[in-house]
Each structure stands twice: as structure tokens, then as C-alpha cells.
Amino acid sequence: MGQFLEAGKIVGVHGLKGELKVYPHCDSVKAFISLPKLFYDREGKKEVAVERKRDTGKLALLKINGLDTVEEARKLIDKLLFFDRSDMKLLEGAHFIIDLLGSAIIDADSERVYGELVDVTSNGAHDVYHVEMAAGGRRFIPAAGDFIAGIDVDAGTIKVRPIPGMLED
């Protein structure tokens, strides 16, 4: 588990003064703009000199100190930004997706191992776990309600209670 995680990706410029459009890789734009520090690198050695951050709904606008022209800003398009995981306070029971990937998906009652978590997407209402089945193929399980019985990041396991047919061949 790395200390520095992806915060977002610079996807464009805004205005004429070098402001950047950032697509956040956090749960929300609000979570992104609440981060006290951003970095250009995964090691946290190159801190971004942030002048200001703004929420536009789906994107964040980021003004970097000393970056004052559209031409300079365009050079940063497609660049990833990172944050220190200790700067993000997670709610009780919340986890970073990166820490869940690769977890074994196990039936909470029978201990049957269904497969491995390979991706997480959101459908707007909740996250959806993509399970690469041990027997082959991919199945999906909502990361909501009674479907998830427990998560143990240290053990690399997610216990589930699927409805009949959800994770069966």
C-alpha cells in the first residue's frame, strides 16, 4: 500500500490565466479540494504550489502559483496529481479502493471463495465490485447494504452475502 495515491488527472485548461481543469479520482470534487497538499509524483517529492482550488460540480479548477498562461497550463494536460493518504480522513468503514483491489471475495456463511476483486465502479447510488471468478468470468456485486458482510484490508478479504444466482455459474 503506497503512501501517495492518485488524487486526479489534469484534463484541460480554464480561462486565460493558466487555471487547470482536474478530474478527481477521489469520491467527489469536494474531497479533492479539501486535500491540503498535492504532488506531481507518486513519491511525494514534488509538491504542487497550489494557489487556489474551486469546485465546479464534476471537475475541480486548480490555480498553480507561477502558472499564468494557457500555453504553460496546456503542458500539464494528462498529468496525474497525487496526495498523501494521511491527509484524507476516511469515514468509519470506508476504504481506499486501491487497498481493496486483489482482495479475495468470500461467502460470509459458507467460506466459499468466489474470486478476486479486480475493479470498483460507481453507478451513482453506490459502488459496484467487479469480481473475477475463480471458475472464470466476471460477476458484479453491489458494495451496499447486506451484500457486504465485512472487509478486512489487512487479511485481503471481503466477506459477502450474495443473493441466489449473483455469483453462481
Question: What angle (nearest 5°) sits at the alpha carbon of residue 128, between those of residues 127 and 129?
Answer: 120
**How confident is the model over 130-165, as pLDDT tens digits?**
999 998 999 999 998 889 999 999 999 999 999 888
- pLDDT score of 99 more than 80: yes
CA dist 154 and 106 (Å) reads: 15
pLDDT band for position 87 (50/70/90)? very high
What's the mean pLDDT when you consider all of the chain? 92
> Quick one: pLDDT at residue 46?
96
**Which residues are within 8 A (CB) of 145 and not within 5 positions of it... i.e. 6 or more apart?**
none
Among the residue ranges 32-36, 75-79, 107-111, 142-146, the one predicted with the least confidence is 142-146
Which range among 1-5, 98-102, 152-156 shows the weakest confidence by mean pLDDT? 1-5
* First-last CA distance in the chain: 33
Beta-carbon neighbour count of residue 113 at 10 Å? 13
**Residue 71 pLDDT > 70:** yes
144 DSSP 8-state letter? S
Average pLDDT over residues 92-98: 87
pLDDT at 1 over 70: no
Domains and CATH numbers, the chain: 4-86 (2.40.30.60), 97-160 (2.30.30.240)
Selected residue with higher pLDDT from 84 and 144? 84
Chain-centre distance of CA 167, in angstroms?
24
Residue 115 has pLDDT above 70, yes or no: yes
pLDDT above 70 (res 169): no
Q: Average pLDDT for residues 99-124, to the nearest whole number?
A: 92
Q: What is the pLDDT of residues 30-49, one digit of tens each?
A: 999 999 999 999 999 999 99
What does the pLDDT read at residue 137?
A: 92
